[in-house]
Amino acid sequence: MRTHAQEGRPRGARRFVPIIPLLAALTAPEAAAQGAARGATLFTQRCATCHTVGEGDRVGPDLHGVMERRDEAWVTRFITSPGEVIDSGDAVATELLARFNGIRMPDQQLSPEERAALYAFFRDCTQKGLGGCKPSPAAKMGTDATPEEIARGRRLFEGTEALAKGGPACFGCHDVRGVGVAGGGTLGPNLTFTFARLGERGVRPALAKLDTPMMGALYAKAPLEEEEQYALKAFLADASRDGSKPRADRDFFYLGLVGALAVLGFMGVAFGAASKRGLS
């Protein structure tokens, strides 16, 4: 015998309500993976200068397993205002301060969504185990590059160091202040101020995708490796630091100089040949 509540419920509701938790269960892993991926990027951009996940202590502690060692509410308080937690006399914060030579972590202004993504990344790393969650080298901030990384980016741009998968050097189509004797190519835009214009968020995906019509054709079968993406980004970030405009006549001056030397060389060869004929 049906109860009144069952008879009063619409048939459609009885049929479809159970599907909602099923859909949630099916989409939860994908959402968690997306959150962890975003958290990995945030970690590399905001945390990796001082911390690692599974590679040992750096300026601050290794954060592998941090969400298991600490309560989430405590982690949130500490990330938001480390100094306040330390000054409150918190035992864990005081121990960390002493352990890492009195260095205080700066406040991190993260939105609730960004913190959730970062926590998803930490939990994902714990599940993968030590060494299974190393962030992408391409996600490191271009402005944090070492002189060696910048120098490698310049070599890759100019083509003096070949790209691992055989793609053409940027120099053939693009110019950047100070590269080459006569500058780079003019088929593509001048990239001197690209990093200043697009920033980290624009340059990093552009180097990863290379999906403009021309670059898509050139690099479809020869994409840049992550280390190459980072080196080129570092070079472009360094080039953007000088805000003055490149000299417009630089290419013409050097091309004229090279042309004059070529003409003089040809005249020398011709004069030498004429002299030999005169002596014979």
Residue numbers of the domain that contains 66: 29-135
Burial class (CB in 10 A: 0-12, 13-18, 19+), 105: buried
In a domain, 200, yes or no: yes
Spatial distance between the Cα atoms of 52 and 69, rounded to a whole number of angstroms = 16
Spatial distance between the Cα atoms of 75 and 23, rounded to a whole number of angstroms = 31
In a domain, 265, yes or no: no
| Pair (170, 224) in one structural domain | yes
Q: How many domains does the chain have?
A: 2
Indicate the residue among 79, 110, 135 that finishes a domain.
135
Spatial distance between the Cα atoms of 194 and 232, rounded to a whole number of angstroms = 12
Sign of CA dihedral 144, 146, 151, 155: negative
pLDDT of residue 150: 95
| Pair (41, 125) in one structural domain | yes
In a domain, 260, yes or no: no
| Pair (43, 85) in one structural domain | yes
pLDDT of residue 243: 66
The CATH number covering residue 131 comes to: 1.10.760.10
Residue 81 is classified by DSSP as: -
Burial class (CB in 10 A: 0-12, 13-18, 19+), 233: buried
Spatial distance between the Cα atoms of 196 and 210, rounded to a whole number of angstroms = 19
pLDDT of residue 258: 45
- Amino acid of residue 86: I
| Pair (119, 209) in one structural domain | no
Indicate the residue among 87, 113, 135 that finishes a domain.
135
Sign of CA dihedral 162, 167, 173, 177: negative
Please name the residue that has the structure tokens 């959730």.
116
pLDDT of residue 55: 86
* Ranges of residues in the chain whose predicted pLDDT is under 70: 1-33, 135, 243-280
In a domain, 172, yes or no: yes
| Pair (167, 121) in one structural domain | no
In a domain, 279, yes or no: no
In a domain, 199, yes or no: yes
pLDDT of residue 182: 72
In a domain, 99, yes or no: yes
In a domain, 193, yes or no: yes
| Pair (39, 112) in one structural domain | yes
Residue of 70, 88, 79, 144 whose CA lies nearest to 106? 79
